Structure 1
Amino acid sequence: MSRSVLVTGGNRGIGLAVAGAFAQAGDRVALTLRSGEPPRTAARLGCLAVRCDVTDAEQVERAYKEVEAAHGPVEVLVANAGITRDRLVLRMAEKDFTDVLDTNLTGVFRVVKRAVEEMVDARWGRIVVISSAVGLLGAAGQANYAASKAGLVGFARSVARELGPRGITCNVVAPGFVETDMTAELHDRQRSAMLGKVPLGRGAQADEVAAAVRFLASEDAAYITGAVLPVDGGLGMGH
C-alpha cells in the first residue's frame, strides 16, 4: 500500500537515496531541501520537493501543510537533515556548537513533533531518525556533531516509549563512513585512515543505508522500536 513519506534533508547523499528507495517501492514521497535546486533524480522518481529549514518552526509547519495537501498526512518520517561545523573544542565558536545542535537535534524534535500529531490520531506511524557512528564513538574535531547525534538516540528512545501504545515506532539508523559527494573530497590519506578502522574495509553505499531505513519503516519491523541499527561495517561494534 502506498504511504505518505517525508524525508528531511533529502536533496543529496543519504537522504536522496532514502527518498528514492521509498519512491521506487511505490510510496508517495516528499523531500525537503533548505537551499539550491531540487535534484533531478527526485523529479524523475516523482518525489515532491519542499523548501524547509528545520531550524525555523514556521517553515516546518508550511512544509507539512504542503506535503499533506499533495500526499495526505505523513505516515513515515525519516529525519535526516543535518549540518557539520567541524573544529577542535578549543577553537570552536559557541555559535558553531549551537547551530549544529539546533539543526541536527532540535530540528529533529520540530519535525517529529509535527508528524506525530497526525500519527497519534491514526494510531500508526513509522519514524526513523538518522544519527551517526560518530554519536556513539565520538570524533576529534566533531564534539558538536557527536553531541547532536548522540542526543538523537535518547530522544528517539523517549519517543518510542511515549508513542508505542499508539502503534507508532521510532528507531535510529547510525551510519558510519558513507560514500557520498562529501567524503569523495577527502584526501587519500584521510580515507585510508578512516577505512582502516572499518572491519569490512570499505565505506557504505548510500543505498545500503536506505535499505536499513526502509526495513525499519516496513511491516517486517512492526515489533522493533527504540532500536539503534548501525550501518557502519562494524566500526562501532560494542557501542
Structure 2
Amino acid sequence: MVFQEQNSYGVGSMIQFKNFTAAFGEKQVVSNLNLSLKANTITAIIGASGSGKTTLLRTLCRMNDRISNFFIEGNVLIDGKDIYQSETDVYALRRKVGMVFQKPCVFPESIFENVVFGVKDKWGRNELPGLAQKLLRDVSLWDEVKDRLEEKATTLSQGQQQRLTLARTLAVGPQVLLMDEPTSSLDPKSTEVIEMLAQSLKANHTILWVTHQQAQAHSIADQVLVIKDNQVSPSLMTRQQEDPVSFTRILQNIPGHSE
C-alpha cells in the first residue's frame, strides 16, 4: 500500500515495528524490535544518553534518511502502511508525523507568520487569522499573545516559543506527535503547561515523548519504553498496572536517568 497524504486531522495513528533494526554503520541502535503502540496514547521513551531514543523517534518521520551510514531492516508501519517502502511520499509522511525538538525552533518572523507558516498555501488569506487563533488556543497561548501577533516570535519566553512551535506543528494536521525532550530547556511552570497540553492533545494524536526524567515519564505516559543495550523493553509499563516501586527499580538500572 502506498503511503499518501490524507486529510484526517483529529485521529491518532497506530504504530508498529516489525523485526525492526536500526544502525549507523556497524553500530546497532535498536535491534529486532517488535512492538505495537495504540492510537491516542502517550508513550514515554527513556534510556541513557546515546541509547537511541532520538534515533527511534526520527525513524517515524524518516529524518535519519540523509545520514549516509544509517540503515534499517524490518518494517515500520503507521496505520498498517510501511513508511519505508520505495513508493512512500516522504513529504506527506512528515505532514502526518510532526516533531517538536528539545529547544524551541521559531523563525525570525512574526508570531502570526510562525503559526501559519506551513499552511499558507492551503488556506485562504481571510481564513488564516481564525486558524491562527484556534491553534494558539489549542496550545494555551492565545491570551498571552493576542495583542502581539505582529511582534517577532523571538520576543517570547522559552516556554511560549515552545508552545508556538507546537502550534505550528499542529497546523498541518499531524496524527502522530514526536516530542524529543520538549521540556528540557524550560522552567518548571512552562514544563507543567506542556505536560498538561500533551494530555489534552492525545485525544486527537498519538504521542511519543523522549525524556530523561523518571517522574515525568511516570506521570504523563500511558506506557513507558526503556531502551538499553540496543533493546527496547518488550513489555509496556503503564501507570495503571505497574507497581510504582518496581517501576522505580527498573528506571534506576538505566545509567544517566534522573528523578
* Structure 1 and Structure 2 fold alike (TM over 0.5): no
**Larger % of helix: which?**
1
The TM-score, its normalising length taken from structure 1, stands at 0.28
Which is bigger in relative contact order (C-alpha 8 A, separation at least 6)?
A: 2
Larger radius of gyration: 2
